[in-house]
Amino acid sequence: MERCCPDWMSCLPEELWDVALTHLAIPGSHDAMSYCLDINSPLVRSESDFFRLLDGVFYCFTRPAIFKWATTQDKSIEQQLSMGIRFFDLRIAHKPGDLFNDLYFTHVIYTHLTVLETLSSVATWLDSHPKEIVILACSHFEGIDDRLHESFILSLKKLFGSKLCPRKESVLTLRSLWASGYQVLLSYDSQTAVRHQELWPAIPYWWANKHTAQGVISYLDWNKDLGRPEGLFVSGLNLTADRNYITMNPKQSLRTLTFSNWERLRKWLEEQVPGSDPRSLNIIAGDFVGPLPLCSLVIALNQKLLRKNSSQIKKHY
């Protein structure tokens, strides 16, 4: 079980306060809101007609399977925050046929909780932790037209207010963000974001789309060899099972798959290094971030920056 690290950013050594966020190791939550999926909700719009037909005819079989393979987290967003998660993968949509403007999170199906009530909880948590910085990556936006985008963005501005860090901000270090009172970097994967200086563009996510630890590691190492992006980016430790695998392994779930591969992923994770080197990592996201100690392992990687700086000083003298 993960230990809580609710104020880990403010507790970092002062030598790291001037390191760019892009060079720190930051724990992230893949499909952060899937802990509250509504098993009785409609399928998302992007699902195929064939799968809709299958779901309609064999509902009593498909729904349990969807639920156990689409659920990637089992801790609430407040619990994830207190455990140390600072990057949240948030997939947002409007339900088909819904006459209201309420937006929900999705992963194959929709969540019980709405987006705004969830993000209100995040804003409240940040009030109690004024030196913690979160990165909210909003994406997908199925069923959301321009009018609904603008309405949602206005609500986000009202909700987070002066906590929102504008994208024109060139210096993204803990010290500079604390001085300005910024606590939220809001990534918004839509062309609509261009019109709003409070919104940041999409953050690259290295997604292996593999169901084994070795497959994920090989993919991430291949990307490291090509060189890291300049800005914020995510390395996904999350496993993915296709529908053929799911059909052939009826007793498994994403949870059992993740846990059975964790030891190999953990060993690889402990070998990683943050920083500016082309092979360095930045945000590292995974599944089941409470039961598995992702946060503490990722946060601990920042100690390597201290040792690196110390060795450079010794060489200088």
pLDDT digits (tens, 9 = 90+) for 19-60: 999 999 999 999 999 999 999 999 999 999 999 999 999 999
Average pLDDT of the residues of the chain? 95
Whether 313 has a pLDDT exceeding 80, the answer reads no
63 has pLDDT over 50: yes
Confidence of residue 312 (pLDDT cuts 50, 70, 90): low
Q: Is 317's pLDDT higher than 70? A: no
- Residue in this structure with the two tokens 């992702």, named with its chain if needed: 294
Residue where the block lists tokens 């455990």: 83
Give residue 48's pLDDT: 93
Q: What percent of the chain has pLDDT over 70?
A: 97
As a whole number of angstroms, the distance between CA 98 and CA 100 comes to 6
More confident residue, 307 or 126: 126
Tokens of 96: 């088909």
d(CA 304, CA 293): 18
Q: What is the pLDDT of residue 14?
A: 97
Rounded CA-CA distance 282/275 in Å is 8
Q: Which residues does the annotation mark as catalytic?
A: 30, 107
* Residue 28: per-residue pLDDT: 98
Supply the pTM of this predicted model.
0.96
Query: Quick check: 1 pLDDT over 70?
Result: no
C-beta separation of 34 from 107 below 8 A: yes
Residue range 10-20, pLDDT digits in tens: 999 999 999 99
Residue type, 241: A
Across 199-203, average pLDDT: 97
Written as six digits, the tokens of 269 are: 């994770």
Q: 170 falls in which pLDDT band (50, 70, 90)?
A: confident
Look up residue 274 and give its amino acid. P
Q: 273 with 280: CB under 8 angstroms?
A: yes
Percent of the chain with pLDDT over 90: 93
Query: Which residue has better confidence, 194 or 317?
Result: 194
**Cα 16 to Cα 105, 180, 276, 304, distances in angstroms:** 34, 18, 13, 11
Average pLDDT over residues 257-262: 98
Residue 67 has pLDDT above 90, yes or no: yes
- Residue 127 pLDDT > 70, yes or no? yes
pLDDT for the residue numbered 314 = 43
What's the gap between Cα 264 and its chain centre? 21
